[in-house]
Amino acid sequence: MKKRILTGITTTGTPHIGNYIGAIRPAVELSSNSDESFFFLADYHSIIKNQDSLSIKESVKDIALAWLSCGLDPKKTCFYRQSDVPEIMELTWILNCVTAKGLMNRAHAYKAATALNDNDPDKGITMGLFSYPVLMAADILMFDSTHVPVGSDQMQHLEMTRDIAARFNHLYKPLFTLPEPIIDNDEKVVPGLDGRKMSKSYNNVIPLLGSDKKLKKSIMKIVTNSLEPGEPKNPNDCTLFELYKYFANADEINEFKNAYEEGISWGDAKDILFNIINAELLPIRSKYEDLINDQDYLNDVLGDGAKKARTLAQEKIEKVKEVIGLTKIS
C-alpha cells in the first residue's frame, strides 16, 4: 500500500517563527518525501472557538499563502480547504452515529474545558467542542490516510480515529484504513521573546512574514540577562542560542557557543541571530510578496486541490452510504 500522509493546518491567527520551525518546515519536507500527501486548511475546526468571520477569512488566506511561500508544492501535494469538501460533513454525521459518547467524554480538550467550570460543567461547551474528534476522524478516514504526523499532545486524536474506524468496520464492512502515527521524537518547543513557549496567547511571537525591519525589531526585544560584554555567558540558558540552533549547522552552532564563552555582547548576539534567520526567510518573503499580489493564484490552487479531494471523497462517501443502507430504492 502506498504511504498517504494527511496533515490538517489550523486556520487561526498569523503564522510566526514557532509555527515555521515546529510545523511548516518539517511538514513541507515530509510532503516531498512521501508517495502521496494531503494538506488541508481546517477552517471548520476554526469556528469551534472563533465566531469572528473576518478574522477566519483573513487567517485562511494568510496561512495558505505562508505554506505555499515556505515551499509546499501544490503539484505534488493535494492542498485544499476543508469547507470545500462537503462530503466530509456527511461522513462526520455517519461517524457520529457509531461513536460512543463515552469516548468523547475522555477527549482532553473537552475535559480541560469542563475543568474550568465550577457549578455547571457544561457552561460554554458547544457541541462543536464536544464532538470535534469525530470531525477530525472524518478528515482522516475520508482519504484512506495511512499516516498522520502528530505531536504527543495530539496522539489521543489519532487513537480516537482508529477506534471510530474500527467500530464502523466491525458494524458494517472494513472500508476504512486505520492510520498510523508519525511521531516526532524530537518535538520542538520554540522559545518566544520572553523565554516561554512562542505563542500568540503570550504575545511573545516573532513574525514569519514581516519585513526584515520587523524581524530585527522583534529579535532585539528578546529578553536576556544583565551580563556585560566580555563576561562569559551560558548558551544553554539563553533564548537567543536556542533559536539560533534551529537555523544553523553544527559548525555555526559551535562557533556561536565559543562566542558566548568569550563574552559576546547581547547586541552582537542578536545581530548574529537576525542575520541567520533573515537569510532563510528572505526567499520565503520574496515568494510571499509575489503570491499576495496574484489575486487568482491562491483560489486556483485551492480550487484544484478541492477538485481532486472531492473526486476521492465522493467515491468514498458512496461506498460508505451503500454499506449503511443509504442507497437508491430498488
Domain ranges of the chain: 4-189+294-324, 210-290
User: Which residue, chain included where needed, has cell 510578496?
Assistant: 289
SS in 3 state form for 83-145? Answer: HHCCHHHHHHHHHHCCCCHHHHHCCHHHHHHHHCCCCCCCCCCCHHHHHHHHHHHHHHHCCCC
At 115, list the grid cell.
475543568
Q: Which CATH superfamily is domain 4-189+294-324 in?
A: HUPs (3.40.50.620)
Mapped onto helix, strand or coil, the DSSP state of residue 4 is strand
Q: For every one of its 330 residues, what pLDDT tens digit does the chain have, with 9 covering 90 and above?
A: 689 999 999 898 889 999 999 999 999 998 888 889 999 999 999 999 899 999 999 999 999 999 999 999 999 999 999 999 999 999 999 999 999 999 999 999 999 989 888 888 889 899 999 999 999 999 999 999 999 999 877 899 999 999 999 999 999 999 999 999 998 777 788 999 999 999 988 999 999 998 999 999 999 999 999 999 999 999 999 999 999 999 999 999 999 999 999 999 999 999 999 999 999 999 999 999 999 988 799 999 999 999 999 999 999 999 999 999 999 887
Sign of CA dihedral 99, 101, 103, 106: positive
Residues 327 and 317: beta-carbon distance below 8 Å: no
pLDDT, position 222: 97
pLDDT, position 295: 77
CATH of domain 210-290: 1.10.240.10
What is this structure's pTM? 0.92
pLDDT, position 159: 97
pLDDT, position 32: 84
- Expressed in angstroms, the distance from the first to the final Cα of the chain is 35
pLDDT, position 319: 98
Length of the chain measured in residues: 330
At 150, list the grid cell.
502528530
pLDDT in tens, 171-213: 999 999 999 999 877 778 899 999 999 998 899 999 999 899 9
CA distance 235 to 254: 10
